[in-house]
Copies of this chain bind each other. A is one copy, B any other.
Amino acid sequence: MRGAVLHAPGDVRIEQLPDPAIVEPTDAIVRLSATCVCGSDLWPYRGINEVTEPTPIGHEYCGVVEEVGPGVSSVRPGQFVIGSFIASDNTCPHCRAGYQSACAHKVGMTGAQAELLRVPHADGTLVATPDDPDPELLPSLLTLSDVMGTGWFAAVAAGVRPGMTVAVVGDGAVGLLGVLSARRMGAERIIAMSRHEPRQKLATEFGATDVVPERGDDAVARIHDLTDGVGADAVLECVGTGEAMTQAIRSTRAGGGVGFVGVPHGVSIPGGRLFATMVRLHGGPAPVRRFLPDLIDATLRGEIDPGRVFDLDLPLDEVAEGYRAMDERRAIKAYLRP
């Protein structure tokens, strides 16, 4: 099969790779209908995470089950499935508590920018749609594998409730889908922090009521201006840098929540500041498996259209252009057709 391999920072290539095969009885092999490039793929692509050897890359996927191991009972060949970017057994205490991304037997997925993918813990990881979905829904269904579930978890972790004022730090695909999530959860006012016109536009279409282009101290001051000096009830931190985390904490009211889903890079949170601000903090790798059934239903019913974050559509063979376009911020998110 063909699959993307990251060789070094800036060097991602499509290569001929061995077809994946069933290894454990609980595995499934999925023929991918769609995959894409994640913001977190840019960390190694930019050399911020070290690349020590050529590595198959990609972790967002949906497609049709090709084969299952003898221990798989909940999905069967021919079914269209979506799975989380973290494989989980969905039976351990963490999974049962809704934290499948902390599964006692979790396996981080990789190699999904390819034609075929081996999915461990297939029963716990994959959710099948009732029927073959309309091809037009593929981009939206694909987002449920990570980016939409991650934006949703940011809002859940921040404690978004109907009527709240919510601010979103980060205008990447996760931040934009955080806006969509907050809107669906009934937030009354949603402040998107973005300085890029096409992203501001999409944020507004997803439900943002205000756009703040400032950053750092100026952004915090604007949020306080917009909230009568109180701060936002909930803030979604969708970047992963120390600056973004500081901006998020300082924008939140006492007792309000910051939901953080950007993979932290060099983030250190001063305990004294967290104590003084009384902000609640919750985040991590999103347990998207928890949200998959509801978000699949909402997508199939046409109630959400998260696939609109894809503004670049490429055949898998042009994966390198997808990385370049996202790295240069020419694209929000690149959709790949295997």
Chain A interfacial positions (CB closer than 8 Å to B)? 93-94, 97-99, 101-102, 104, 157, 228-230, 242, 245, 253-255, 260, 263-264, 266-272, 274-285
Q: Report the Cα distance A229→B92, complex, angstroms.
A: 11
Given A97-B255, A230-B94, A253-B97, the answer on whether A275 and B268 have CB atoms closer than 8 Å is no
Closest Cβ neighbor of A266 among chain B residues: B271
Are A275 and B255 interface neighbours, CB within 8 A?
A: no
Are B278 and A283 interface neighbours, CB within 8 A?
A: yes
Contacts of A157 in B (CB 8 A): 280
Contacts of A255 in B (CB 8 A): 94, 97-99, 102
Are B285 and A281 interface neighbours, CB within 8 A?
A: no
Contacts of A272 in B (CB 8 A): 264, 267
Are B254 and A102 interface neighbours, CB within 8 A?
A: yes
Closest CB of chain B to A103's CB: distance in Å? 9
Contacts of A263 in B (CB 8 A): 275
Contacts of A228 in B (CB 8 A): 93
Closest CB of chain B to A124's CB: distance in Å? 16
Chain A interface mostly:
mixed
Given A102-B254, A104-B229, A255-B98, the answer on whether A285 and B280 have CB atoms closer than 8 Å is no
Closest Cβ neighbor of A280 among chain B residues: B282
Closest Cβ neighbor of A98 among chain B residues: B255
Q: Report the Cα distance A279→B278, complex, angstroms.
A: 16
Contacts of A269 in B (CB 8 A): 268-271, 274
Closest CB of chain B to A170's CB: distance in Å? 14
Contacts of A242 in B (CB 8 A): 271
Contacts of A281 in B (CB 8 A): 274, 280-282
Contacts of A276 in B (CB 8 A): 284-285
Are B278 and A101 interface neighbours, CB within 8 A?
A: yes
Closest Cβ neighbor of A94 among chain B residues: B254
Closest Cβ neighbor of A256 among chain B residues: B97
Closest CB of chain B to A270's CB: distance in Å? 6
Of A229, A260, A278, A285, the most chain B CB neighbours within 10 A belong to: A278
Q: Report the Cα distance A105→B274, complex, angstroms.
A: 20
Apart from A267-B271, A277-B284: 4 A-B pairs, beta carbons within 8 A: A97-B253, A97-B255, A268-B271, A276-B284
Contacts of A283 in B (CB 8 A): 274-275, 278
Contacts of A285 in B (CB 8 A): 275-276, 278
Q: Report the Cα distance A104→B268, complex, angstroms.
A: 27
Are A264 and B260 interface neighbours, CB within 8 A?
A: no
Closest CB of chain B to A168's CB: distance in Å? 18
Closest CB of chain B to A305's CB: distance in Å? 29
Closest CB of chain B to A95's CB: distance in Å? 10
Contacts of A278 in B (CB 8 A): 99, 101-102, 282-285
Are B282 and A260 interface neighbours, CB within 8 A?
A: no
